[in-house]
């Protein structure tokens, strides 16, 4: 029988019975004072990175507008799209954790802006992401599992340009604007946040309506190239990197080394992704700012699987597992640990026969 990945089905109840709801996660044996030192936030680095992000968006948008409607504008729009539709994802993530900036209002400002770009209601998605970290890849508990088993490869391919996500988020925005939550959202959104959810949805719908009216009035899609469409044509990078976070790894385990992947990436992707390629490290110590994750990796790498050396190498290992899961959904990657690392818990024994 296929698993029910919803938060309202039998798997959700079973997760509680099996003590997989808010489980005790494995942590490396590391000095607490070393972790506390890495948790120190500052404003300088994220302010620089945010200014560069937004500044580049302004530059590329200006070039795109100046060359519009010539095809010579396409490279500028492609760059703008990645900054709008992909770099916003990592900014949403880090500022949602409130770990990017030392100053609270700066985290909130960038978080709200990135949420708008991604069409993710800030109050729903902050609650969703808290649950994702509490119950990472626990079936029936984690609302952010990217692909179920067996994986729908066609859906994953289509969503490379955000089509499915944007359609679903647009429907959810309309639902929220009518003063309702999705039943699954009701399991994790706080009652005191619900009025804010509805208010944001109504404001966003008004903004999108004004942009569409402006486009109609101009007889051009140019306004939509600036607001709205980049959520589609610029989404590919955040979808690509997002697939590498957990896909092909174990479900229903309590060790992030078994369900989360670290990938070494080029400097451009690391800027777009804000070092979230160090994803095991982030899940183990969520309050460490993105600019200190390389230091965290160096501190605990003795206890972690060897990271994939590149994006391409990670997909070369992932794709065969996804193909195998089409016929045998329990197929899974079980990463090898370095010599001397703390062994996996006994739960790994159930995974070994299915390892690819």
The model's pLDDT over 332-346, given as tens digits with 9 standing for 90+, comes to 999 999 999 999 999
User: Residue 332 — φ and ψ, nearest 5°?
Assistant: -155, 150
| Whether pLDDT at 3 is above 90 | no
Averaged pLDDT, 58-80 = 98
User: What local confidence, expressed as pLDDT, does residue 88 receive?
Assistant: 98
Mean pLDDT of the chain, nearest integer? 97
Averaged pLDDT, 176-184 = 97
User: Residue 97 — φ and ψ, nearest 5°?
Assistant: -75, -10
Beta carbons within 10 angstroms of residue 169's beta carbon: 18
272, 87 contact by CB (below 8 A): yes
| Whether pLDDT at 188 is above 70 | yes
- How far is 256 from 284, CA to CA, in rounded Å? 7
Residue from 7, 2, 6, 11 nearest 252 by CA? 11
The DSSP result for 157-190, as a single string, is HHGGGTHHHHHHHHHHHHHHHTT---TTGGGTS-
Averaged pLDDT, 181-192 = 96
Residue 139 per-residue DSSP state: T
User: What local confidence, expressed as pLDDT, does residue 94 receive?
Assistant: 97
| Max Cα–Cα distance, the chain, nearest Å | 67
Please state the domain extents for the chain: 10-19+42-354
- How far is 182 from 7, CA to CA, in rounded Å? 11
- Mean pLDDT check: name the lowest of 41-55, 87-101, 147-161, 275-289: 147-161
> Whole-prediction pTM value?
0.96
Averaged pLDDT, 317-321 = 97
User: What local confidence, expressed as pLDDT, does residue 13 receive?
Assistant: 94
| Whether pLDDT at 2 is above 90 | no
C-alpha distance from residue 108 to each of 111, 229, 267 (Å):
5, 24, 26
355 in helix, strand or coil?
strand
- How far is 74 from 276, CA to CA, in rounded Å? 28
- How far is 125 from 204, CA to CA, in rounded Å? 15
User: What local confidence, expressed as pLDDT, does residue 75 receive?
Assistant: 98
- How far is 238 from 165, CA to CA, in rounded Å? 12
- How far is 285 from 35, CA to CA, in rounded Å? 8
- Separate counts of helices (H) and strands (E) for the chain: 18, 0
């Amino acid at each position: 029988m296929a698993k029910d990945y919803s938060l309202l089905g039998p798997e959700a109840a079973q997760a509680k019975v099996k003590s997989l709801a808010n489980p005790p996660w494995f942590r490396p044996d590391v000095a607490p004072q070393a972790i506390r030192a890495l948790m120190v936030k500052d404003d300088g680095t994220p302010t620089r990175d945010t200014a560069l992000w937004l500044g580049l968006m302004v530059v590329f948008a200006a070039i795109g507008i100046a060359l519009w409607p010539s095809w010579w504008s396409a490279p500028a729009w492609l760059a703008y799209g990645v900054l709008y539709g992909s770099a916003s994802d990592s900014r949403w993530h880090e500022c949602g954790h409130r770990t990017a900036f030392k100053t609270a209002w700066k985290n909130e400002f960038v978080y709200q802006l990135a949420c708008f770009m991604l069409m993710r209601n800030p109050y729903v998605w902050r609650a969703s992401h808290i649950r994702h970290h509490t119950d990472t890849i626990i079936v029936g508990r984690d609302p952010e599992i990217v692909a179920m088993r067996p994986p729908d490869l066609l859906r994953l391919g289509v969503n490379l340009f955000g089509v499915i996500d944007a359609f679903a988020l647009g429907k959810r925005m309309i639902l929220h604007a009518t003063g309702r939550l999705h039943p699954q959202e009701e399991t994790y959104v706080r009652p005191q946040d619900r009025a804010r959810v509805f208010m944001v949805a109504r404001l966003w719908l008004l903004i999108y309506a004004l942009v569409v009216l402006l486009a109609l009035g101009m007889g051009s899609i140019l306004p939509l190239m600036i607001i709205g469409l980049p959520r589609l044509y610029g989404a590919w990078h955040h979808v690509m990197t997002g697939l590498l976070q957990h896909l092909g790894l174990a479900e229903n385990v309590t060790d992030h080394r078994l369900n989360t992947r670290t990938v070494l990436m080029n400097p451009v992707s690391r800027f777009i992704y804000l070092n979230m390629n160090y994803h095991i490290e982030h899940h183990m110590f969520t309050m460490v700012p993105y600019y200190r994750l390389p230091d965290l990796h160096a501190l605990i790498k003795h206890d972690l699987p060897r990271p994939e050396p590149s994006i391409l190498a990670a997909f070369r290992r992932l794709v065969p597992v996804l193909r195998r899961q089409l016929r045998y959904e329990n197929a899974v990657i079980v990463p090898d640990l370095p010599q001397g690392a703390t062994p996996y818990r006994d739960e790994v024994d159930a995974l070994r026969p299915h390892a690819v």
